[in-house]
Amino acid sequence: MDSTTVKALRIMEALSASDDERGVSELSRQVGLTKSNTFRILSTLVDQGYVQSNPETSRYFLTLKIWEQGTRVIDRNPIRRVARPHLQALFAKINETILVSVIDLPEVLYIEKIESDNPVRASARVGQRAPALRAASGKSILAFYPDDDIERYAKQGIGNKSDLALFRNELSQVREQGYAISISGSRPGVNSIAAPIWGGQMVPGGALSVSGPAERCTINFLESIASDIINTSTLISESLGVSSPTIGNFAFVS
């Protein structure tokens, strides 16, 4: 592993997570490097156009070059390429925030969305992450993973044995009904429902979710739109050339 590359990535991640420009001293403390090492890496990133220095403050910030590279990658994502018209059709029915995510354990990463028109709404940004064990989208994907994988990831994030048993039972129910519901799961006061988007080898590659404020997106409301969510996720899967399995009779092929 190239340690210099790792150090540069850590510095870029620290700059990305900050709303403010950062000085060499505070960056070096955060990433655990010497000031001279941090300065050398920042100078290289400035030369390559990924970081810029404010001449008035001598503090550093990321440029839009990293965003430019990221948009090229996300535009190539097959789920995102085919999902948009299906999201628009679903949005016309429900007018709540719709999100498409992909799994990147132990999290899900949001790659597309349509935002609700309601004045009070709950949303995540494209590029934002959420814990897969708590988000409806993550649970809708994990439910169809092999049992050994589910057990490994669940034990990493759920220490309490009784909570672990409840989580296993919840995923069994998701596997039977084809969708997951999260009540204040990844964010307090925000409820969501999600269904898997299927990929190759009959493993979900992503998820379609609808989320909103708890006072509007009640359990009854979420359950009332479950068939719309499943139908839309199925259409997206079919647009990828994958047929969804029969929910309730799902079996893994070893």
Mode of pairing for the β-strands spanning 107-114 and 190-198:
unpaired
Tell which wins on pLDDT, 108 or 151. 108
The residues with which 104 forms a beta bridge, in sequence order, are 107
Q: What is the pLDDT of residue 254?
A: 31
* Topology given in CATH for the domain delimited by 77-239: Beta-Lactamase (3.30.450)
What contacts 228, CB < 8 A, 6 or more positions away?
A: 90, 93, 94
Distance between CA atoms of 32 and 246, rounded to whole angstroms?
51
pLDDT at 250: 46
Q: Assess contact for 165 and 206: CB atoms under 8 A.
A: no
Question: What confidence score (pLDDT) does residue 244 get?
Answer: 72
- pLDDT tens for 109-140 read 999 999 998 887 777 889 899 999 999 999 99
Angle at the Cα of 48 (from 42 to 51), degrees rounded to 5?
A: 45
In this prediction, what percent of the chain has a pLDDT beyond 70?
A: 95
Please tell me the CATH code under which domain 3-68 is placed. 1.10.10.10
CA 83 to chain centre: 15
Residue 109: predicted pLDDT: 95
pLDDT at 248: 52
**Res. 252: pLDDT tops 60:** no
> Rounded to whole angstroms, how far apart are CA atoms 192 and 21?
35
Residues sharing a CB contact under 8 Å with residue 123, sequence separation 6 or more, in sequence order:
97, 113, 115, 116, 211
How far apart, in whole angstroms, are the C-alpha atoms of residue 37 and residue 57? 20
Cα 200 from chain centroid (whole Å): 19
pLDDT tens readout for residues 85-103? 999 999 999 999 999 999 9
Structure confidence by residue, pLDDT tens digits, 194-247:
999 998 777 898 999 999 999 999 999 999 999 999 999 999 999 999 877 756
pLDDT at 251 over 70: no
Indicate if the pLDDT at residue 171 is higher than 80: yes
**29-51 pLDDT, tens per residue?**
999 999 999 999 999 999 999 99
Domain boundaries of the chain, sorted by first residue: 3-68, 77-239
* Residue 222 neighbours by CB under 8 Å, 6+ apart: 181, 191, 192, 193, 210
Mean pLDDT of 77-92: 95
**Which residue, 197, 223, 226, 192, is CA-closest to 209?**
192
pLDDT at 1 over 60: no
For residue 249, the model assigns a pLDDT of: 45
Tell me how many degrees the CA angle 204-207-211 measures, rounded to the nearest 5. 160
What stretch of H or E contains 63?
A: none
Q: Can you say how many angstroms the Cα of residue 244 is from the centroid of all Cα atoms in its chain?
A: 21
The pLDDT-based confidence of 2 (bands split at 50, 70, 90) is: low
Is the pLDDT score of 253 beyond 70?
Answer: no
Q: What is the pLDDT of residue 129?
A: 92
pLDDT for the residue numbered 245 = 72
